Amino acid sequence: MTSYLSPKIHLAVIGADVVVLDTRQNAYFCLPDAAAGLSVGSDGVVFDDPGLAQDFEQAGFLTPAPRLQADPPSLPSRDLALRVAKRVATRDILLILAGWTTMAFSYHVLPFDRLLAQARRRRQAELASDVTEDLKGLVASFEKILPWLPFQGVCLYRAFLLLRILRWRGHDARWMFGVRTWPFQAHCWLQVGDTALDDTADRLAGFTPILAV
């Protein structure tokens, strides 16, 4: 029988292991050797292990109603080589600083699931698949200015800030979340089509996508 994941639960199968992301708590759960106990399809999860199904139910990971769940996009095959601008235009400086000043009330005070909801609400109607020269230049300016900001934060903070800045300029990107195991690590980055904006494709090759916003 097919079971359905809660809208705020996301799952990735990595080899023999299963990783669950609970966006309500901003918590990841790594389940070693659990992949043999379930099968993941586009319409839900089929549990071959009744004990694993019971664990998911008791943890609040399941919902009685099906939900539309698209697979996250593939990992990027290209990147911008983390290019840093040699000179930054005044308008880019003002835009980046304006974005940074809003983080006090639009990032720091919000729980993780509210950040995701905010990013979804502000998505443009249709995502472009091409990386324009203006987008490349703005990302390069961001890489130049980032080390000078008083608070740079972790990947979550940086990706959220860059996404806000890009949207203010009329661009958009996928906010991607990926995981790896042994050792466990979670990471996020921005991606347009098959191009990573704020990381390298080689580094991201070791991750498995678990969520795309």
pLDDT digits (tens, 9 = 90+) for 172-206: 999 999 999 999 999 999 999 999 999 999 999 99
Q: Based on the domain organization, do 56 and 156 belong to the same domain?
A: no
Q: Based on the domain organization, do 175 and 121 belong to the same domain?
A: yes
What distance in Å separates the CA atoms of residue 127 and residue 33, rounded to the nearest whole number? 37
- pLDDT at residue 125, rounded to an integer: 67
Can you tell me which residue has the tokens 């080390």? 147
What distance in Å separates the CA atoms of residue 23 and residue 55, rounded to the nearest whole number? 18
Q: Are 165 and 99 in contact (CB under 8 A)?
A: yes
Question: Pairing between strand 2-5 and 44-47?
Answer: antiparallel
Section 59-78 average pLDDT: 86
Q: Based on the domain organization, do 114 and 189 belong to the same domain?
A: yes
Helix (H) or strand (E) holding 78: strand 78-79
CA-wise closest residue to 118 among 130, 105, 127, 134: 105
Section 109-133 average pLDDT: 88
Within a domain: 73? no
Lowest mean pLDDT among 26-30, 136-140, 152-156: 152-156
What is the tally of structural domains in the chain?
2
Give the pLDDT band (50/70/90) at residue 5. very high
Q: Based on the domain organization, do 9 and 113 belong to the same domain?
A: no
Is 196 buried (19+), middle (13-18) or exposed (0-12) by CB count in 10 A? buried
CA angle 150–213–25, rounded 5-degree value: 70
What distance in Å separates the CA atoms of residue 185 and residue 199, rounded to the nearest whole number? 15
Q: Based on the domain organization, do 204 and 140 belong to the same domain?
A: yes
Q: Based on the domain organization, do 192 and 92 belong to the same domain?
A: yes
State yes or no: pLDDT of 65 exceeds 90: no
Within a domain: 208? yes
Section 32-53 average pLDDT: 92
Give the pLDDT band (50/70/90) at residue 71. confident
The one-letter amino acid at 172: D
* Chain segment 8-34, per-residue pLDDT in tens: 999 999 999 999 999 999 999 999 999
Q: Based on the domain organization, do 109 and 16 belong to the same domain?
A: no
- Domain holding 85, by residue range, is 78-212
- pLDDT at residue 87, rounded to an integer: 95
Q: Based on the domain organization, do 51 and 118 belong to the same domain?
A: no
Within a domain: 24? yes
Within a domain: 69? no
Section 152-176 average pLDDT: 94
Q: Based on the domain organization, do 126 and 205 belong to the same domain?
A: yes
Count Cβ neighbours within 10 Å for each residue of 161-185 and write b for 16 or more, e otherwise.
Answer: bbbbbbbeeebbbbbbbbbbbeeee
Within a domain: 144? yes
Model-level pTM greater than 0.85? yes
Q: Based on the domain organization, do 54 and 83 belong to the same domain?
A: no
